[in-house]
A and B are shown apart, each in its own frame.
Chain A
Amino acid sequence: MTELATARPRAGASIARSLAKHLLLIVASLAMIYPLVWMLVSSLRPTEVIFRTPGLWLNELYIENYIEGWTALARPFDWYIVNSAIVVVGAIAGNLLSCSLAAYAFARLKFRLRNLWFAIMLMTIMLPFHVVVVPQYIVFNNLGMVNTFLPLVLPKFLATDAFFVFLMVQFIRGIPKELDEAARIDGAGHLRIFGQVMIPLMVPALATTAIFTFIWTWSDFFTSLIYLTSPDMYTVPIALRSFLDATSGSNWGAMFAMSIVSLVPIFFAFLFGQKYLVKGIATTGGK
């Protein structure tokens, strides 16, 4: 009898604790995503309804916001989506190519001053962009490249996103050396080992790089703001911001609608790429 009485409350306490934990996590999750869901719902409401409806119930689907938002700026919104897509595709191609080349060198080849270059590479990960942005701008300005996509894409082909070099170095270090040594014994040169042995094995790291590059470039604001000053060259974030001037910041329905449009690609990249994002962040951030 006494045994039962002491055993039961313990089991009960453990269940209660687990329930309390889930309750806490559910409340926290809801608080985290409520603003996002509210924005999605509000994008389907007339602006004057947005101002007085904190809830999520929809009486009608007011898709006029999307039509209005799509055509509110100098060009239809798909124009800016295409601009962003060009920059994103360029940036992904550049990062995949240049970072994997550098990573192969750092992880597998022995050459003079390797450790020095490697240390410099690590330090550039932490370097604030602002220290280089003014001279970079002056150079691109003198080359007549301001108001083109080149300042946004060109540096990616030269592995300036050192974070991805490091991520790939970490990944290559985890690949057994026997694999490339076997290819070397068969007489393959470094370029062939890199292209035919390493690249296929590096697919997960390449996917992580592609997804991170996609998300970061798609939402990049600062570089676009500096280099793309003519409205025809605007990328999605700059176009979105210009709603504040175009509608004097009052047409929240249209603004929310285009905000949702701008977030959809990131959301899907996150949804399908989450596995790679978590892994990438864990291999570079872990101990």
Chain B
Amino acid sequence: MSAISELSKLSTRRALSPEDRAARRKEASRDNKAGYLFLLPWLVGLFAFTLGPMLASLYLSMTDYNLIQTPSFIGLDNYARMLDDARLHQSLRVTFTYVVVGVPLQLALALAIALLLDKGMRGLPIYRSIFYLPSMLGGSVAIALLWRQIFGTTGLVNQVLQLFGVPATTGYVSDPQYALWTLILLHVWTFGSPMVIFLAGLRQIPTMYYEAASLDGAGRLKKFLTITMPLLSPIVFFNLVLQIIGAFQSFTQAYVVSNGTGGPSDSTLFFTLYLYERGFTNFQMGYASAMAWVLLVIIAAFTAINFFAAKYWVFYDD
């Protein structure tokens, strides 16, 4: 059960019979105190570090606040200012490109490799480890530095191109035309963790389905389309939702590769990078909070669209 199917299950709980209810009430009274005691650290954390700050940031988003003077209420001015903020628009363009191109490419590769890695095939654990490793390292500063070198003017990519007689004059991370694509490539490189989830999902498909289909004379493609895809679709959906949410929040790689600027010419200015610059370099806490809420709304909208579209392509057999 993934977090997502848990959520949808909770909303469709069936009604309880009166006896059930009485029994539950009796037991509930016994556990109530213990339940809240065990939950106490989490509850404190929820209010102190999540719900409280959320409300505070909603208020701050309607203020002008620089950490030193007291916040002054300015209504929706911060949001209005965003409409004229050209760099903010640029940061949205960059982030959308990254999410809309990077996530599907990464998931497609994850699925393709997972399908190639059959159950019980020779060398499976080794292949899996090699493909999984980059997703454990990909978020680190070390890998971002490596990327900066590989796609630099004298980097590995240009060195290889020169072997083939291609003159290398430009560095990809310093060319506004390519810089974002090096980051998208880095995202695709970390396809290992969705791949592991796909592998776990593939393992749950009963082999008898395929055997029955073979008896009916179904070919590989037919089996893929009528068995694998429908049964794997909830997992594709799960990966899609989580990867989109994650990709919108990417920060480290763009920050390190552009050395904190989002450059060249703002071509890697992720929304989170711009938010960081406004909030923690310029200390415009009000504007940064408003940006955070815009990010939340965008992510929520993407997630809602995903859930809505899921009705048409995600298959639940129960």
> Is there a chain B Cβ closer than 8 Å to A75's Cβ?
no
* Most A-side CB within 10 Å, residue of B3, B40, B123: B3
Inter-subunit contact B141/A241 (CB<8 Å): yes
Q: What residues of chain A have their CB less than 8 Å away from a CB belonging to chain B?
A: 21-22, 24-25, 28-29, 32-33, 35-36, 38-39, 50-54, 97-99, 101-102, 104-106, 109-112, 114-115, 117-139, 141, 155, 157-160, 165-166, 170, 189-190, 194, 215-216, 219, 221-222, 225-226, 237-238, 240-241, 243-244, 249, 252, 255-256, 259-260, 262-263, 266-267, 270, 274, 277-278, 281-282, 284-287
The bracket for how many chain B residues form the interface is: 35 or more
Chain A contacts of B140 at CB under 8 A? Answer: 219, 221, 237, 262-263, 266
Given A160-B45, A219-B139: A136 and B156 interface contact (C-beta under 8 Å): no
Q: Taking chain B's interface residues, is the majority helix, strand, or loop, or is none over half, making it mixed?
A: helix
> Is there a chain A Cβ closer than 8 Å to B88's Cβ?
no
Given A226-B280, A282-B196: A128 and B201 interface contact (C-beta under 8 Å): no
* B142: nearest chain-A partner, CB-CB: A259
* Most A-side CB within 10 Å, residue of B10, B116, B140, B272: B140
Chain A contacts of B176 at CB under 8 A? Answer: none
> Is there a chain A Cβ closer than 8 Å to B67's Cβ?
yes
Chain A contacts of B39 at CB under 8 A? Answer: 101-102, 105-106, 111, 117
Task: Identify A135's interface contact among B56, B134, B234, B235, CB under 8 A.
Answer: B56
Inter-subunit contact B42/A134 (CB<8 Å): no
Interface stretch, picked from B14-22, B210-218, B245-253, is: B245-253
Given A123-B7, A190-B34, A286-B204: A134 and B285 interface contact (C-beta under 8 Å): yes
Task: Identify A155's interface contact among B49, B132, B248, CB under 8 A.
Answer: B49
> Can you show 24 pairs from A to B with CB atoms below 8 A apart?
A32-B131, A36-B134, A50-B149, A101-B40, A109-B38, A110-B27, A115-B10, A117-B43, A120-B46, A128-B292, A128-B296, A130-B292, A135-B57, A135-B289, A141-B67, A155-B45, A237-B252, A259-B146, A266-B136, A278-B200, A281-B196, A285-B197, A286-B235, A287-B5
* Most A-side CB within 10 Å, residue of B36, B41, B291, B293: B41
> Beyond the given A101-B38, A111-B32, A287-B204, could you list 19 further A-B residue pairs with CB under 8 A, ordered by the A residue number?
A25-B127, A54-B156, A54-B163, A122-B6, A124-B50, A126-B299, A134-B288, A138-B285, A165-B42, A170-B1, A219-B140, A221-B251, A221-B252, A240-B141, A241-B145, A252-B149, A259-B141, A285-B238, A287-B238
